[in-house]
Structure 1
Amino acid sequence: MSHPSTTFPRLRLTVALAAGLVLGLTACSGDEDTTLDTAAPEPAEEEAGADVEHAADEHADGSADEGAGDIEVEMVDFAYVGLPDRVPAGTRLSVLNTADEELHELVAFRLPDEEDRGVPELIQLPPEELRPVLGEPTAVLLAAPGGPQISAVGDGTFDEPGRYAILCFIPTGVAPEDYLAAAAETESGPPQVEGGPPHFVQGMYAELVVE
């Protein structure tokens, strides 16, 4: 079942907050080196378990539809289900969180035209190198388990052709209500909440081509 989108004015992410999100990369390293210790996990749906496999059967075709429209992306632990590899310009994404406990988000960054590295390689970069590559997010959609979509940046419409990195920066294990409350109070920088590594470290990332 789809949920209505909710826009929280106090939750709108500024450029500073968007840049601060990638600071989560630093926390993923066990030493002074800011790069990740291990290779990025493949964003394979089987990593998310049986729930992903069941949902993936309904979205077997990863190609874009013939025309732009609305696509609902299911967010599970830790993957995006039903997100095509390619979509036509004008496509609007919405999110549905079917996880039991984890808050999830879909943060989209349009990659520079000259950038030819894939998302798995990019997330290995230290924060000071990754931030300028990502730039400002074009969309930030969040949802608590079973809750309505929160449109923090944009409404999920992808009008500009190009290649997009899709990432979830939510810290693993953080209570949804704690994160949303902290985000509502944050003027700049990432919400100050305790939690584990960001979800993209668990494989919750993807690459989307808008044509």
Structure 2
Amino acid sequence: MSFDMSTRQNIIKKYMCCFFVFLFSVFLCSTLSACNTISTPPNSTSNSQAKPMPEMNERVSKFFQEHNLTLADKPGWVPSKILDYSDRTDEEFNNKLKNNITGYIVSIHDDKISINEVTWISNVNEDGGFKIVDSSPEVIQYQLAQDVEVWVLTQMVHIQIPLQDLKSYIEKYEYTLWNIGVKEGKVITLIEKYVP
């Protein structure tokens, strides 16, 4: 059986075409398979921050959509709920701070909070323009108001969280400085202070 030159070329073209289709199919399948097996590294910014866990409320989801990098400075901590958020500064929170004190949260047990009070002194001769003086290492215990407001600071955005989320927050970030509002012997407001 003999083929003329043009018939041979047509047969070769058909085989080459089939071969390239086969190669492309293999490449496509392996690429899709690789996409399904790639997982996001645990410390990736897009991990829990871009896709909140299902138990988080709608406000958490909305917050992450609007401020998807705002919690990048808080690795390993994600709130279960966000009650509110604001880019207000410390000064604009002053109306929430009755009898304002400044200090570190030492512990929270049930409806009591232990605070190590310190003094913030603005001083241009100090690094950062301030110094923190801990004149007494004594820890003072306060009662927590039932409706205590808790605001944590994440890259210049304050987010309001429930008290139970504060407990996990201070375990992770224990040296955070707080502006603390006290009324009639009870802590009514806890606002994380910006420290340059």
TM-score, normalising length from structure 2?
0.23
Greater share of residues in strand: 2
Greater share of residues in helix: 2
TM-score, normalising length from structure 1?
0.22
- Larger RCO: Structure 1 or Structure 2 (Cα < 8 Å, ≥ 6 residues apart)? 1
